Amino acid sequence: MADLARLTEIIEPEANALGFDLVRVKMMPSEAGDGTQALQIMAEDPATGQLVIEQCAALSRAVSEQIDALEEQGDVLIEGAYHLEVSSPGIDRPLTRPKDFSDWAGHEAKVSMAKGYDGPRNVRGTLAGIDGETVTIEDNRAGTVSFPLGSIHSAKLVLTDALIAATQPLDTAGADEISEDEEEKADN
């Protein structure tokens, strides 16, 4: 099993050096179905809240070089075969940092609690925000529900029209040219 805290210590400075904020580091089964693992890294450009493909590629190269250098020195960070996946968090992003719970207040979220939490296991509703280490959601069924940030197993935004409207487009460069080309084809 990989030490996610150690991997995060290695990956976060690489992301920061490129001007990105690290959103999540996670080990998961590979989608290839071949029994390998995937090291999933989600990061964002603070200016847009997303990453474009070139930014993902730059972070992937930086992290790969750092991990390779450490493994050459004998520091085994991940046991067995794995591949690296670097991505943007997307619109229905995971909520992993205190900042996420404040930045996305007012939007619908779905939260699953960690085992051992004494309260509702799953909560879904409008994210009210975070105060210190306490997250509050206006749950669709239970009303106002507050819980410690540390009791969350997973949390993510729910894709809604309001969320789509609030999300900045990444890059609209070239959109005018596409529209003009399509109009010219329609006229011919």
Task: Reply yes or no on whether the pLDDT at 183 is more than 50.
Answer: no
Evaluate whether residue 155 is within a structural domain: yes
What average pLDDT does the segment 104-113 reach? 97
pLDDT tens-digit map of 49-102: 899 999 999 999 999 999 999 999 999 888 888 899 999 998 899 999 999 999
Both 72 and 34 in one domain: the answer is yes
Query: 8 vs 2, 54, 82, 129, 151, CA distance in Å?
Result: 11, 21, 16, 25, 20
CATH number for the domain harbouring residue 144:
2.30.30.100
Domain with 35, as residue range(s), is: 4-87
Q: Is residue 30 in a domain?
A: yes
> Looking at per-residue confidence, does 172 or 64 come out higher?
64
- Do 117 and 45 fall within a single domain? no
In this model, does residue 17 exceed pLDDT 70?
Answer: yes
Contact 32, 77 (CB under 8 A): no
pLDDT for residue 121: 93
Say what the pTM is: 0.81
Residue 179 inside a domain? The answer is no
Q: How far is CA 114 from CA 6, 8, 35, 147, in A?
A: 22, 21, 26, 11
- State the Cα–Cα distance between residues 28 and 41, nearest whole angstrom: 11
